[in-house]
Amino acid sequence: MIRSMDYRSLGPTGMQVSPLCLGAMMFGAIGEPDHETCIRIIHRALDGGINFIDTADVYSQGESEIIVGQALAGRRDDVILATKFHGQMNSPGDERRDPNQQGNSRRWIVQEVENSLRRLGTDWIDLYQVHRPDVDTDDEETLSALTELQRQGKIRAFGSSTYPAHAVVQAQWTAESRGLSRFVSEQPPYSILVRGIEADLLPVAQQYGLGVLPWSPLAGGWLSGAYRKGQQPPPSTRAARIPARYDMSTADNQRKLDATEALAVLAESAGLSLIHLALAFTLQHPAVTSPIIGPRTMQHLESQLGAADVQLSSDVLDRIDEIVPPGVTISSIDHSYTPPSIANPWLRRRRTA
């Protein structure tokens, strides 16, 4: 049970959130398709002291938002509700795919916020987040649209997700120089195996007073205890969607397996589950507000709830630093965002005749 005294401020907003945030990505077709099961999981999380729920329009193409809205009927006032926009909302195989039903443009934001409000069954969203950067849209375009939605009362605050540190700074500067409201939070990938943001993003977030809501604190299941040497990896819908992250033949994933094995031994010696060790690690970083847990089953949720009460000793934290040094992300694929300057070779090569 999470105690009310343990709640944390969400950046500069004054909103108080639980130290664990319930992520709803696995509710719907890509995870647990049974709505009643998902609703029971959400209610158990709320009864366990979690008052913060994060979803996104693209999670099962709106189905996750619908499920969350159903679960919050009669309990909406007790919850800090976050969702996100940016991703393509048409099926990739749909011939009618509309290139404007995605991105960070004013056109899409003012349309999609209404869709999310309808699916969630609510009049307002507490935290509306830009799911990914969009190099085709100017920051001022995005921030001005979000500022207007805030003034209209449709959203209370807004934040970013998976923004590199320089993009966070740029957005803060744009807001200040144009007299617009600013991002109050950032949602980056962060876990013991994915520590790259410790070098730049987390210090930047602290400098600007942003709430930090790490996603995938269990490294996509790698830190759940299910991935051990000499054991067959369990079947996983996530592995089916992103096979490169779980291909045990790659050098990076072998290094992740070595680290996971050492961390499992450390957790056992500390009298903890690997799950609690991993979540407590993210919780103890002074920049972090609320890591996002993403259970698919009730068992997953129960295994994670108690982590908010765990405090790791300096000796344990020092040993974690030996296994995965600060600022190191073992596998580049775990960054989950590749800027165009890296993805497109013609942005880093002079064209010759």
Whether residue 291 has pLDDT greater than 90: yes
Whether residue 5 has pLDDT greater than 60: no
Whether residue 29 has pLDDT greater than 80: yes
Whole-angstrom CA distances from 218 to 16, 192, 293 are 24, 8, 8
Tokens of 140: 């001022």
Q: Rounded to an integer, what distance in angstroms lies between the CA atom of residue 340 and that of residue 260? A: 31
If one counts every other C-beta atom within 10 angstroms of the C-beta of residue 176, the result is 10
pLDDT digits (tens, 9 = 90+) for 156-173: 999 999 999 999 999 999
pLDDT attached to residue 4: 53
What DSSP character marks residue 163?
A: -
How high does pLDDT run on average in the chain? 93
High-pLDDT (> 90) share of the chain, %: 81
Question: What does the domain layout of the chain look like in residue ranges?
Answer: 1-187
Tell which CATH classification among 3.40.50.1110, 3.20.20.100, 1.10.150.20, 3.30.70.1430 matches the domain 1-187.
Answer: 3.20.20.100
pLDDT attached to residue 346: 82
The answer to whether 215 and 187 have CB atoms below 8 angstroms apart is: yes
Burial class (CB in 10 A: 0-12, 13-18, 19+), 35: middle
Residue with tokens 């617009």: 180
pLDDT digits (tens, 9 = 90+) for 196-235: 999 999 999 999 999 999 999 999 999 998 888 877 777 7
Catalytic residue at 163? no
Phi, psi of 81 (to 5 degrees): -110, 125
pLDDT attached to residue 91: 62
The stretch 18-46 carries a mean pLDDT of 97
